[in-house]
């Protein structure tokens, strides 16, 4: 097995943590909350879309454009166990936990 194949296999077999995350603008104090089936890859995707100016949430994109990347922090705020749930159950549980954190933090929603 080549090194590349071993890396691919390790990636596929890794433990994926689902959960809820917050993006905070340190300059303004604004918070956006989202949920994802894979917390380990979410920040890279969001930061990429913000850097190229194509994020779906206009308020987050505007804040990023105004204050720059250094003003933002990504934080995983809750791991969510999705074991044993079907696709609908997984989506529903993530949506429920996201809603809880939006209310608790007075945040805007992502996704």
Q: What is the pLDDT of residues 33-76, one digit of tens each?
A: 999 999 999 999 999 999 999 999 999 999 999 999 999 999 99
pTM of the model: 0.86
Please report the sign of the dihedral spanned by the C-alpha atoms of residue 57, residue 63, residue 68, residue 72. Answer: negative
Residues 17-109, CATH architecture: 3-Layer(aba) Sandwich (3.40)
What is the pairing mode between strands 31-36 and 108-109? parallel
Return d(Cα 32, Cα 95) in angstroms, integer: 14
What pLDDT score was predicted for residue 84? 93
Q: What is the Cα–Cα distance from 98 to 48, expressed in whole angstroms? A: 22
Compute CA distances 102 → 14, 18, 62, 98, 99, whole Å: 29, 17, 19, 6, 5
């Amino acid at each position: 097995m080549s090194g590349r194949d071993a890396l691919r296999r390790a990636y596929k077999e890794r433990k994926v943590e689902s959960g809820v995350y917050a993006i905070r603008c340190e300059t303004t104090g604004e918070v956006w909350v989202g949920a994802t089936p894979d917390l380990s890859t979410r920040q890279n995707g969001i930061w990429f879309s913000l850097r190229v100016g194509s994020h779906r949430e206009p308020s987050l994109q505007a804040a990023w454009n105004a204050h720059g990347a250094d003003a933002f922090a990504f934080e995983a705020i809750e791991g969510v166990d999705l074991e044993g749930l079907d696709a609908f159950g997984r989506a529903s549980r993530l949506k429920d936990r996201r809603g809880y954190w939006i209310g608790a933090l007075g945040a805007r929603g992502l996704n």
